């Protein structure tokens, strides 16, 4: 496949320095004063608790862990107590236990990864008022919790534009994980973007109700591809690995099969590799979770932990975008994507956060 750099959107998304500026955006909704005196001049330890997708989900949790590791490397820390670490949740019953475990180990800042951890963090933050806790993808109204949100709908809008313009069948699909607000934002943006360029596009939707079950993702993808869908955008964490598996199997069996996957959270190009010359990853919707982790960790270390505040990263803050398509997407479509990006960033186009009605 001919390689051509998709430089329209990602250069600033993947650059930590750009996203660090996002915290100064007026998108940050102040709720209370900063908390925490920081540990400037000392080792500042950071840890995270994964959701059930696991730290190697090739997506959301993995991106957060990469951010923790980068902060550790930048600050000369080692993995373990007094440095950086993670605990993996096998089920939601592990959230409280894992959060408390890391606090007992005296980590200066603990991240909870995912909307599903909101209740656990509310409880743990109340019981540990001096702790510094950050929650990704949900909001907790507590002075010692920094809430981190992304405008997934804006990045997903661009993914929808690509899918609708690239589809040869006029049928595309969305595979979601659990039916929760953050996944609804992916869903909403994808549909709005696709219909912006093709109002008649057919969009099939399947919420698998799991972030850690690749078999459910594979079943959903099999049904969609069998019905004529040629491009699937997944927002399902580890469940999305099954979408890739199904597409790769079809492409390996029939090299002429027109099947594509749009990845999520991180650049999932490697997940789409069929052989040395074939890849079924069309692009990926990037979400700068890793950079947000570095941002919040750095601020906390400097004594500026944004407790009681919500920081929001969207297209205007370079918090979401699309990955390098490596030549899979024609330049004229990339030009359309850039045009839509500018209109969204300027406020000319408002992207809905609400789950589309059937």
pLDDT in tens, 251-271: 999 999 999 999 999 999 999
pLDDT in tens, 169-189: 999 999 999 999 999 999 999
Positive/negative CA dihedral, 67, 69, 70, 74:
positive
Please indicate, yes or no, whether residues 172 and 304 belong to a single structural domain of this protein.
Answer: no
Give the span between the Cα atoms of 22 and 315, in whole angstroms.
Answer: 10
Edge-first strand listing for the sheet containing 260-265 = 202-207, 171-176, 231-235, 260-265, 281-287, 320-322
Please indicate, yes or no, whether residues 117 and 190 belong to a single structural domain of this protein.
Answer: no
pLDDT in tens, 51-60: 998 999 888 8
CB 280 within 8 A of CB 259: yes
Please indicate, yes or no, whether residues 60 and 162 belong to a single structural domain of this protein.
Answer: no
State the average pLDDT for the chain: 90
Please indicate, yes or no, whether residues 228 and 323 belong to a single structural domain of this protein.
Answer: yes
Q: Give the pLDDT score at 58.
A: 82
> Is position 105 within any domain?
yes
Percent of the chain with pLDDT over 90: 83
Please indicate, yes or no, whether residues 22 and 140 belong to a single structural domain of this protein.
Answer: yes
Q: Taking Cα atoms as reference points, which of 84, 262, 43 lies closest to residue 157? A: 262
Please indicate, yes or no, whether residues 141 and 194 belong to a single structural domain of this protein.
Answer: no
CB 333 within 8 A of CB 80: no
Q: Once rounded to an integer, what is the mean pLDDT over residues 109-137?
A: 97
Please indicate, yes or no, whether residues 206 and 158 belong to a single structural domain of this protein.
Answer: yes
CATH number at residue 57: 3.40.50.2300
> Is position 354 within any domain?
no
Give the global pTM: 0.82
CB 316 within 8 A of CB 345: yes
Give the span between the Cα atoms of 136 and 115, in whole angstroms.
Answer: 7
> Is position 4 within any domain?
no
Please indicate, yes or no, whether residues 208 and 309 belong to a single structural domain of this protein.
Answer: no
Q: Once rounded to an integer, what is the mean pLDDT over residues 196-211?
A: 97
> Is position 355 within any domain?
no
Hey, what long-range contacts does 127-136 have (CB within 8 A, 24 or more apart)? 128/100, 128/103, 131/103, 132/35, 132/36, 132/108, 132/300, 132/305, 132/307, 133/99, 133/109, 134/109, 134/110, 134/293, 134/296, 134/300, 135/111, 136/64, 136/111, 136/112, 136/289, 136/292, 136/293
| Model confidence band, residue 295 (pLDDT cutoffs 50, 70, 90) | very high
Q: Give the pLDDT score at 144.
A: 98
The Cα angle at residue 308 between residues 303 and 309, in degrees rounded to 5: 90
> Is position 10 within any domain?
no
Which domain range does residue 267 map to?
A: 152-286+319-346
Burial 102-123 (b: 16+ CB within 10 A, else e): bbeeebbbbbbbbbbbbebbbe
Q: Once rounded to an integer, what is the mean pLDDT over residues 13-26?
A: 40
Q: List alpha helices for the chain, DSSP H.
A: 10-13, 16-20, 60-74, 95-104, 118-127, 152-166, 181-197, 214-226, 240-253, 289-301, 331-346
> Is position 352 within any domain?
no
pLDDT in tens, 155-173: 999 999 999 999 999 999 9
CB 149 within 8 A of CB 310: yes
Q: How many domains does the chain have?
A: 2
Please indicate, yes or no, whether residues 134 and 203 belong to a single structural domain of this protein.
Answer: no
Burial 9-47 (b: 16+ CB within 10 A, else e): bbebbbebebbbebbeeebbeebeebbbebeeeeebbbb
Q: Within its chain, how far is the Cα of 233 from the centroid?
A: 13
In this predicted structure, the answer to whether residue 304 has a pLDDT above a threshold of 50 is: yes
Q: Taking Cα atoms as reference points, which of 116, 104, 7 lies closest to residue 51? A: 116
Q: Give the pLDDT score at 269.
A: 96
């Amino acid at each position: 496949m001919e390689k051509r750099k998709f430089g329209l959107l990602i250069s600033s998304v993947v650059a930590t320095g750009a996203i660090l500026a996002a915290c100064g955006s007026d998108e940050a909704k102040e709720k209370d004063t900063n908390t925490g005196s920081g540990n400037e001049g000392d080792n500042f330890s950071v840890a995270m608790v994964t959701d059930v997708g696991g730290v190697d989900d090739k997506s959301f949790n993995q991106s957060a862990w990469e951010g923790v590791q980068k902060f550790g490397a930048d600050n000369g820390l080692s993995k373990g107590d007094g440095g950086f670490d993670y605990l993996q949740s096998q089920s939601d019953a592990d959230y409280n236990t894992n959060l408390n475990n890391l606090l007992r180990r005296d980590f200066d800042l603990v991240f909870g990864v995912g909307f599903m951890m909101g209740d656990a963090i509310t409880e743990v933050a109340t019981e540990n008022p001096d702790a510094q806790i950050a929650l990704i993808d949900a909001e907790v109204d507590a002075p010692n919790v920094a809430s981190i949100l992304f405008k997934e709908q804006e990045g997903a809008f661009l993914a929808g534009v690509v899918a609708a313009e690239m589809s040869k069948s006029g049928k595309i699909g969305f595979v979601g994980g659990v039916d929760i607000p953050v996944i609804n934002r992916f869903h909403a943006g994808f549909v709005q973007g696709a219909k912006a360029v093709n109002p008649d596009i057919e969009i099939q939707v399947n919420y698998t109700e799991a972030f850690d079950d690749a078999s459910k993702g594979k079943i959903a993808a099999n049904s969609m591809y069998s019905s004529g869908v040629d491009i699937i955008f997944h927002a399902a964490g580890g469940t999305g690995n099954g979408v890739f598996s199904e597409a790769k199997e079809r492409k390996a069996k029939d090299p002429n099969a027109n099947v594509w996957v749009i990845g999520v959270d991180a650049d999932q190009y490697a997940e789409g590799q069929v052989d040395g010359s074939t890849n079924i990853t069309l692009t990926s919707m990037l979400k700068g979770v890793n950079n947000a982790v570095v941002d919040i960790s750095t601020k906390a270390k400097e004594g500026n932990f944004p407790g009681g505040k919500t920081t929001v990263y969207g297209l205007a803050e370079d918090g979401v975008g699309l990955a390098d398509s490596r030549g899979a997407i024609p330049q004229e479509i990339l030009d359309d994507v850039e045009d839509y990006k500018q209109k969204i960033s300027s406020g000319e186009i408002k992207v809905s956060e609400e789950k589309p009605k059937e």
